Amino acid sequence: MPVYVGVPIVSCHTNYDCVLAAPYYLLHLQYGTLTHEQVQEKIAEVFGAFYGDAGDGVFGKMCSYFDSLCSKNGADLPLLHQVKTVRAGGVYSLVPA
């Protein structure tokens, strides 16, 4: 069964902007109605609606932050990508597919 990393919704609190952005990725995965590039554009539009001009680049910064956060835990979980479960030394982890 495939596992996908979407838009993080809860970190320290609920991010309503992310709650509204995440379904675009689900549409892409489940129905193929949007391309990966269109998903990123739609997510950028959501952040723009919430933050105006300050929303430019928010998703890119979120991806960088999430990559950094995951790498501190020894994980590689890029947003909007498929991951797979691997077992090494009796420990299960997620890695990019």
Q: State how far the Cα of 46 lies from the Cα of 39, in Å rounded to an integer.
A: 11
Q: What is the signed CA dihedral for 16, 30, 62, 55, rounded to 10 degrees? A: -60
pLDDT at residue 34, rounded to an integer: 95
Q: Spell out the domain ranges in the chain.
A: 3-96
Query: pLDDT tens digit string along 9-19?
Result: 766 666 788 88
Query: pLDDT tens digit string along 12-42?
Result: 666 788 889 999 999 999 999 999 999 999 9
pLDDT at residue 74, rounded to an integer: 82
pLDDT at residue 90, rounded to an integer: 93
User: The tokens of 18 are what?
Assistant: 């992310």
Query: pLDDT tens digit string along 60-92?
Result: 999 999 899 888 888 888 999 999 999 989 988
